[in-house]
């Protein structure tokens, strides 16, 4: 019997990863799609008058098995994939795309949904029900339900093609990330590199029966290398290899795929009656239109650019004085920034890392959430996991009630994509008076423990862990009725608020005292280091802001216009980056061909939302600072109006209910030192 066909019948209803075989997935998807189709058919064939309950609510709870199978499968395709799983993904994605279109383009179903929508004024719905009705109606109207048959057919073809291309894009990036290794046998070439980085590189070489050291494009290897290696030629080699992923005219080249995706998205928007893909996407965002995003970006750029140019000039002068370098290149940025930061603040990551042992930082995130939201985390060892590195926890509230199951997966490996993300294996919802609690996971790529040292994090990795943990809290504290409005199912430019606000605690002495203890001596991080962390928080913030804005501008470049005239990815990028360029261009590199956020993840026309959410998070955190960073009253307001509410109401309504006013950008500009 296929283990994915029925409920798992396990402790806390957790997934039975060890019992699922790769050959189970395809039949499970086919089975779950059939079940979901039957549920939709039952709604369509119901001869009673259409009501909120028998149509909208019934649809909201349909397809639960399909959601569960999809969550498990696609999460593993990101965190623990192999050739077989990737092949299944290529088979399954068109099936899911087709099923989605079967539902959205079903005229009888849409007629029933529209009948309820048309009488919405008389239905006495609460805010969550009203939002669900609005979302359900728009999921049809915005996806072709009002189109003539011929156009519906075109839409199906476009969607099927897009689902295949974005998978292929991700597989190519993963393949190129893993294809590159730099094998060094002479220790003299590695001066400047921290012991931990060398030890990790040595153990990778050993695992391949090689002498010396092996460096890869995985972040825990790549970032320390370009930050600390004195050998400029080797930094260049690493940086060019990273920037060339998907851009090498080989079997994993993504240039054609990028052009195809951009054009298909534009075609899709046109079929649906929108000017561009960005117009389509932004209609359901806080920003609402490409014009708003452009003016927001232009405004921030005007404030950040003078600071960025000053900082770049300072960095250039510093590199010239130190090493006689006339022209800074991209592979010099992190290296000289780290040295300059050390000179200005007497602060470097290697000095900080001993205070940030991974286990302690994780406990710190737990303690912060206990102080703010009354949560406790208990490690459990009797539920299944998909890899031995994964840690599992039961999360409870102050009354001892289950809040969530939490999975934490921290180290790089062959089947895992780069970066860090939060996801869920099971959504929260309330059905038949039972509050189904969510199963939430965070996935990162931190340095593994070695024979002599535990996993020690850079400060940047500490904020990454807190960032993803903020997303996790949004998922764990969800308390809504309908799964599609639960947790992080919010407008995309609101989703980064819970994650980005939590990063602020990493800079506060009161919070650092909870977890920043030296891994050997147990001593708390000295106050002078904390002061330096705070002082250096806005170091090169102008350049960092310009970098973020450049990614957002590239995203809007691909999606806020007709891309059919773009013939060459590299030429187009060069034009898009003109306003934000500081370093000379590298002809062997392209950004778009490995820009997974917008060509594989869900950030197309939405990359600006990182900066947008920074405005929200700076404004929101100012409230905590005014009242005390562990103030229970403010924390409860944040939990009740933001974290638990998911997408049940418009985010601006939720934000104002928490904060008392609309967000102001002053707090961000002040924090970034750009005022």
pLDDT per residue over 147-165, tens digit each? 999 999 999 999 999 999 9
Query: What is the domain class of 354-506+622-648 according to CATH?
Result: mainly alpha
- Reduced to 3 states (helix: H, G, I; strand: E, B; else coil), residue 468 is helix
- Which of 639, 635, 625, 631 has the alpha carbon at shortest distance from 671? 625
CA 336, 337, 338, 342 torsion: positive or negative? positive
Of 55-64, 116-125, 526-535, 638-647, the least confident: 526-535
What pLDDT sits at residue 339? 96
Written as six digits, the tokens of 664 are: 């102001």
What pLDDT sits at residue 640? 98
Spatial distance between the Cα atoms of 258 and 482, rounded to a whole number of angstroms = 35
Round the average pLDDT of the chain to a whole number and report it: 96
How far, rounded to the nearest angstrom, does the alpha carbon of residue 549 sit from its chain's CA centroid? 17
Spatial distance between the Cα atoms of 498 and 483, rounded to a whole number of angstroms = 19
Judge contact between 649 and 135, C-beta under 8 A.
no
What pLDDT sits at residue 666? 87
Per residue, the 3-state secondary structure of 470-499, as one string, reads HHHHHHHCCCCCCHHHCCCCCCCCCCCHHH
How far, rounded to the nearest angstrom, does the alpha carbon of residue 340 sit from its chain's CA centroid? 30
Q: With 90 as the cut, is the pLDDT of residue 468 above it? A: yes
| pLDDT tens digits along 111-149 | 999 999 999 999 999 999 999 999 999 999 999 999 999
Per-domain residue ranges for the chain? 3-146, 180-243, 354-506+622-648
Judge contact between 585 and 327, C-beta under 8 A.
no
How many residues make up the chain in this entry? 675
What pLDDT sits at residue 349? 84
Per-residue pLDDT band at 674 (split at 50, 70, 90): confident
Average pLDDT, integer, range 519-530: 95
Q: Based on the number of CB atoms within 10 Å of its own CB, is 509 exposed (0-12), middle (13-18) or buried (19 or more)?
A: middle
How far from each other are the two terminal CA atoms of the chain, in whole angstroms?
64
Spatial distance between the Cα atoms of 459 and 338, rounded to a whole number of angstroms = 12
What pLDDT sits at residue 210? 97
Same fold, 3-146 and 354-506+622-648: no
Q: Are strands 213-216 and 421-426 parallel, antiparallel or unpaired?
A: unpaired
What pLDDT sits at residue 7? 86
pTM higher than the cut 0.85: yes
Kindly give the residue spans of alpha helices, DSSP state H, lying in 283-416.
290-323, 330-345, 349-352, 358-373
Per residue, the 3-state secondary structure of 293-318, as one string, reads HHHHHHHHHHHHHHHHHHHHHHHHHH
- Cβ neighbours for 434, distance < 8 A, ≥ 6 positions apart: none
Angle among Cα 647, 649, 654 to the nearest 5 degrees reads 100
Spatial distance between the Cα atoms of 130 and 140, rounded to a whole number of angstroms = 16
Q: With 90 as the cut, is the pLDDT of residue 6 above it? A: no
Average pLDDT, integer, range 218-243: 97
Active centre residues (catalytic): 468
What pLDDT sits at residue 242? 98
The CATH T-level fold of domain 3-146 is Glutathione S-transferase Yfyf (Class Pi); Chain A, domain 2 (1.20.1050)
Partners of 183 in the β-ladder? 214
Radius of gyration of the chain (CA): 25
H helix or E strand, kind and range, residue 183: strand 181-184
What pLDDT sits at residue 566? 97
Per-residue pLDDT band at 673 (split at 50, 70, 90): confident
- Reduced to 3 states (helix: H, G, I; strand: E, B; else coil), residue 461 is helix
| pLDDT tens digits along 315-328 | 999 999 999 999 99
- Which of 427, 421, 439, 433 has the alpha carbon at shortest distance from 385? 439
H helix or E strand, kind and range, residue 427: none
Q: With 80 as the cut, is the pLDDT of residue 491 above it? A: yes
Q: For residue 236, count other CB atoms closer than 10 A to its CB.
A: 16
What pLDDT sits at residue 133? 98
What share of the chain in percent tops pLDDT 90? 94
Angle among Cα 146, 151, 153 to the nearest 5 degrees reads 110
CA 475, 480, 484, 485 torsion: positive or negative? negative
| pLDDT tens digits along 33-64 | 999 999 999 999 999 999 999 999 999 999 99
């Amino acid at each position: 019997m296929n283990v994915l066909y029925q409920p798992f019948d396990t402790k806390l209803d957790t997934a039975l990863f060890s019992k699922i075989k790769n050959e189970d997935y395809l039949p499970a998807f086919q089975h779950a799609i059939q079940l979901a189709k039957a549920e939709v058919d039952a709604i369509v064939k119901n001869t009673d008058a259409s009501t909120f309950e028998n149509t909208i609510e019934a649809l909201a709870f349909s397809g639960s098995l399909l959601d569960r199978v999809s969550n498990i499968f696609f999460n593993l395709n990101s965190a623990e994939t192999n050739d077989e799983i990737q092949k299944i993904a290529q088979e399954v994605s068109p099936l899911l795309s087709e099923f989605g279109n079967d539902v959205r383009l079903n005229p009888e179903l849409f007629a029933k949904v529209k009948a309820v929508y048309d009488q919405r004024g008389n239905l006495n719905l609460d805010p969550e029900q009203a939002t669900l009705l609005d979302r359900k109606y728009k999921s049809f109207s915005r996806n072709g339900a009002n189109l003539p048959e011929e156009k519906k057919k075109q839409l199906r073809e476009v969607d099927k093609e897009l689902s295949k291309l974005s998978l292929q894009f991700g597989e190519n990036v993963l393949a190129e990330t893993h294809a590159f290794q730099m094998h060094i046998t002479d220790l003299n070439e590695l001066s400047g590199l921290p012991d931990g980085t060398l030890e990790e590189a040595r153990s990778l070489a050993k695992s391949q029966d090689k002498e010396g050291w092996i460096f890869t494009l995985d972040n825990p290897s790549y970032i320390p290398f370009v930050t600390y290696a004195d050998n400029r030629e080797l930094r260049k080699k690493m940086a060019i290899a990273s920037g060339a992923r998907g851009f090498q005219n080989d079997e994993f080249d993504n240039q054609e795929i990028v052009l195809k995706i951009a054009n298909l998205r534009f075609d899709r928007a046109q079929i649906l009656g929108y000017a561009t893909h960005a117009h389509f996407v932004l209609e359901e965002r806080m920003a609402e239109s490409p014009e708003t995003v452009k003016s927001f970006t232009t405004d921030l750029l005007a404030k950040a650019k003078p600071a960025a140019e000053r900082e770049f000039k300072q960095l250039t002068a510093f590199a010239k004085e130190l090493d006689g370098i006339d022209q800074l290149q991209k592979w010099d940025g992190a290296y000289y920034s780290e040295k300059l930061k050390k000179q200005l603040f007497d602060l470097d990551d290697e000095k900080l890392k001993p205070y940030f042992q991974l286990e302690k930082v994780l406990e710190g995130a737990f303690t912060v959430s206990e102080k703010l939201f009354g949560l406790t985390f208990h490690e459990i060892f009797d539920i299944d996991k998909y890899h031995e590195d994964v840690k599992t926890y039961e999360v409870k509230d102050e009354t001892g009630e289950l809040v969530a199951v939490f999975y934490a997966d921290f180290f790089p490996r062959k089947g895992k994509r780069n970066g860090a993300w939060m996801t869920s294996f099971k959504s929260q919802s309330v059905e038949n008076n039972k509050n189904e609690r969510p199963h939430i996971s965070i996935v990162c790529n931190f340095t593994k423990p070695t024979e002599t040292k535990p996993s020690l994090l850079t400060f940047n990795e500490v904020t990454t862990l807190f960032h993803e943990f903020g997303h996790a809290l949004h998922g764990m504290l969800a308390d809504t009725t309908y799964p599609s409005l639960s947790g992080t199912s919010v407008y995309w430019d609101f989703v980064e608020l819970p994650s980005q606000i939590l990063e602020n605690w990493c800079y506060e002495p009161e919070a650092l005292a909870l977890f920043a203890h030296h891994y050997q001596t147990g001593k708390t991080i000295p106050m002078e280091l904390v002061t330096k962390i705070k002082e250096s928080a806005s170091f090169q913030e102008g350049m960092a802001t310009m970098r973020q804005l450049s990614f957002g501008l590239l995203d809007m470049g691909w999606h806020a216009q007709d891309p059919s005239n773009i013939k060459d990815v590299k030429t187009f990028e060069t034009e898009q980056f003109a306003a934000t360029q500081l370093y000379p261009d590298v002809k062997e590199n392209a950004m778009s061909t490995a820009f997974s956020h917008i060509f594989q993840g869900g950030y197309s026309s939405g990359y600006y939302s990182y900066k947008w959410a920074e405005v929200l998070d700076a404004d929101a955190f100012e409230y905590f600072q005014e009242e005390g960073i562990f103030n229970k009253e403010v924390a409860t307001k944040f939990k009740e109006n933001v974290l638990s509410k998911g997408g049940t109401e418009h985010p601006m309504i939720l934000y104002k209910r928490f904060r008392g006013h609309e967000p102001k950008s002053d707090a961000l500009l002040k924090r970034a030192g750009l005022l």
